[in-house]
């Protein structure tokens, strides 16, 4: 029996203590004082219980992270990731009523996603709420009682209009079909935006550390921003103040979980300077739009394409750190050298990369994926994370050499030498080869053509 069939048959069952009437827990009005933390005995906290990994959402329980009902809240943090701060500014400025309840009519998913078996596997999904897009379908009893449950996933449809795809159409590399790719070069897609929802025991297990160690580090490295990480160990869910990700689906979403269909996929980490503004120091934008072209072809050929865009700017070190590294690369003795590519980031940040691709695979499992036929990526870290999570990858597709910008040869050669899969396109990059690859220095970068 499917999880939603179970929901239907179990709807009339009585909920236990977690389904108390909201008025019995608290009035719902904003308190006149500010609590620095919450303790069960002192504040009569009655959080709705969460049983992560349960197949039936009625058994799993809803994520309640709003501050309207503090006594019932079962998650640490706030909705919206880093954008929650802007909501705070709106409240402070008197622009947003804290008692406002979102009107969610006509906001349900435009395309169907799931349910999939991975939704009830606590080892497959620990960074997002698999029911976050269907709260009205999964938790109607709680909503009827007035619980302020917010979606953490939104699914819609769109038409993308990108110049690279128009160029591919004009050059004859791809043809319009009127269904997926329109004559003007626009491509029709489905897309899903996902906010992070962390199940802390699962996150700790992924990294091979204790849950307490994880909580302690999160508390300390945010300068004590979330005391409940230490004071409320009964709360196992955390909404971190970070960016989420967006899945772009080319073709029939049902094909994503169908192993008989060919899936072309790229998982892409944010690079604002290249993706949006076309900086030529890296391969990010060319690789992203090469993936868009390949995903469009996949849909046209009867398969499906997928790009997941993760907000992990500058290897999750941020754009400020990235630009500091750029300066160091251009100014160091000898100029921008492929042999020193990774060393520069470590010199500035103390570490080469904090994207931790172990957490990257969850959206793939949410979409029901068990096999990727064509993986549009050379990254060994991404490949290993996906394969180790139980998803098969049949082919790895490197970026064509002609798409690599002049100043990005430093990056691509350094990565292939470090373990990225270059295939027959790039072969093996030896240490001797690496020493010969040099990018523009600071003066050359600003020299008139």
For residue 129, report the phi and psi dihedrals to the nearest 5 degrees. Answer: -95, 110
Least Cα distance to 14 among 121, 118, 141, 151 occurs for 141
Q: From the CA atom positions of the chain, what is the Rg in Å?
A: 24
Is 355 marked active-site?
A: yes
266: Cβ contacts below 8 Å, ≥ 6 apart: 287, 288, 291, 294, 295, 306, 307, 308, 375, 376, 377
Please tell me the distance from the alpha carbon of residue 159 to that of residue 341, in angstroms, as a whole number.
38
Closest among 26, 244, 51 to 151, alpha carbons compared: 244
CB-count exposure of residue 262 (10 Å: 0-12, 13-18, 19+)? buried
Q: Of residues 353, 380, 407, 433, which has the active-site annotation? A: 353
- Which among 355, 374, 396, 440 is annotated as catalytic? 355
Residue 362 bears catalytic tag = no
> Catalytic amino acids?
353, 355
């Amino acid at each position: 029996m499917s999880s939603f069939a179970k929901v239907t048959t179990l709807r009339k069952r009585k909920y236990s203590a977690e389904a108390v009437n909201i008025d019995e827990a608290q009035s719902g009005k904003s308190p006149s004082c500010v609590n620095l933390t919450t303790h069960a005995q002192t504040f009569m906290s009655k959080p709705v219980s969460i049983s992560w990994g349960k197949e039936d959402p009625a058994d799993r329980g809803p994520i309640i992270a709003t501050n309207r009902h503090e006594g019932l809240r079962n998650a640490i943090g706030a909705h919206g990731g880093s954008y929650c701060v802007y909501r705070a500014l709106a409240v402070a400025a008197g622009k947003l009523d804290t008692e406002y309840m979102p009107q969610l009519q006509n906001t349900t998913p435009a395309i169907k996603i799931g349910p999939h078996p991975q939704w009830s596997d606590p080892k497959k999904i620990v960074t997002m709420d698999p029911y976050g897009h269907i709260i009205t379908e999964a938790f109607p009893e709680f909503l009827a009682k007035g619980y302020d449950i917010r979606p953490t996933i939104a699914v819609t449809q769109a038409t993308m209009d990108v110049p690279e795809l128009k160029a591919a159409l004009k050059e004859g590399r791809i043809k319009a079909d009127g269904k997926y790719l329109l004559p003007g070069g626009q491509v029709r897609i489905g897309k899903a935006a996902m906010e992070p929802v962390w199940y802390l025991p699962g996150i700790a297990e992924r990294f091979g550390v204790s849950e307490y160690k994880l909580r302690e580090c999160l508390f300390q490295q945010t300068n004590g921003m979330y005391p409940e990480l230490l004071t409320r160990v009964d709360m196992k869910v955390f909404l971190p103040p970070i960016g989420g990700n967006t899945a772009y689906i080319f073709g029939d979403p049902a094909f994503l979980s169908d192993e008989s269909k060919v899936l072309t996929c790229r998982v892409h980490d944010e690079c604002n300077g290249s993706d949006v503004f076309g900086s030529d120091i890296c391969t990010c934008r060319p690789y992203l739009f090469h993936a868009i072209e390949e995903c469009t072809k996949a849909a046209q050929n009867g398969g499906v394409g997928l790009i997941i865009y993760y907000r992990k700017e500058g290897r999750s070190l941020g754009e400020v750190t990235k630009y500091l590294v750029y300066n160091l690369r251009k100014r160091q003795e000898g100029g921008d050298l492929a042999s020193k590519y990774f060393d520069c980031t470590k010199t500035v940040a103390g570490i080469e990369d904090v994207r931790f691709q172990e957490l990257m695979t969850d959206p793939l499992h949410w979409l029901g994926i068990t096999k990727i036929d064509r993986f549009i990526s050379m990254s060994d870290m991404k490949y290993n994370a996906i394969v180790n999570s139980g998803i098969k990858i049949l082919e790895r597709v490197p970026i064509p050499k002609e798409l690599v910008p002049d100043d990005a040869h430093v990056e691509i050669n350094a990565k292939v030498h470090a373990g990225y899969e270059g295939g027959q396109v790039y072969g093996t990059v030896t240490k001797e080869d690496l020493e010969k690859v040099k990018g523009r220095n600071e003066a050359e970068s600003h020299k008139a053509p």
